[in-house]
Amino acid sequence: MAHSSPHTLILATESAYKIELLQRLGLPFEACAAHIDEARIPDEAPATMAARLALHKARRVAEDYPDAYVLGADQVIALDQQIFQKPATAERAVAQLMALQGKTHRLITAIALRTPDGAELASECAFEMVMRPLTEPQARAYVEADQPLFCAGSYRIEAGGIRLFEAARGDDFTAIIGLPLTRVWSLLDQAGYLEKL
């Protein structure tokens, strides 16, 4: 079991995107991967899945760092009740884009904070993502250019993926990249973490 001070903040991820986002808040933190099973429970609603996985990640890392504040996050992309996960291959990425093109899907980002005293706080942020109509050659060209093979939904909105969209409707654009910083700050405030700095 690792030891940490009660002022330690740990982000339960190895995602470079989430790490870079959290750095914007100017808080000292460490990052530690949470190795969990991210499979969907049958018939699980997309928002429920995102919230469950965010909390599971926070709890898993808190087992190793019980004296820290541990922040978990998870993102689910859903078209109605269909969930789109990381494609891993170019072919699957193209197939995902063709399923999403010309439609509006939801991008749900959930966060969970586990405190040293075992309290758990949670929040979520949802965006409506309106994707432009795409031809298969356009989808292939995008996948080749941006290589979004480890991005749910097969797009990197912080890179060239922005051109795939007509609109993105929500209230914290950092949620699209993977970590809604307004919600993170609010949870840390609610938990009393900011008073300890």
74 given a catalytic annotation: yes
Q: How far is residue 92's CA from residue 80's CA, in Å, rounded to a whole number? A: 19
Q: Are strands 69-79 and 9-11 parallel, antiparallel or unpaired?
A: parallel
Which entry of 37, 43, 67, 74 is annotated as an active-site residue? 74
CA distance 124 to 112: 9
Inter-CA distances, 164 with 19, 66, 83, 90, Å:
25, 42, 19, 17
Q: How distant is the alpha carbon of residue 172 from its chain centre? A: 13
Residue in the structure block whose two tokens are 């339960």 = 12
* Residue 108, CA distances (Å) to 53, 56, 93, 127, 176 in order: 12, 16, 19, 6, 8
Give the three-state DSSP class for 135: coil
CB within 8 Å of 148: residues ≥ 6 apart: 87, 93, 142, 154, 155, 156, 161
- Residues involved in catalysis: 74
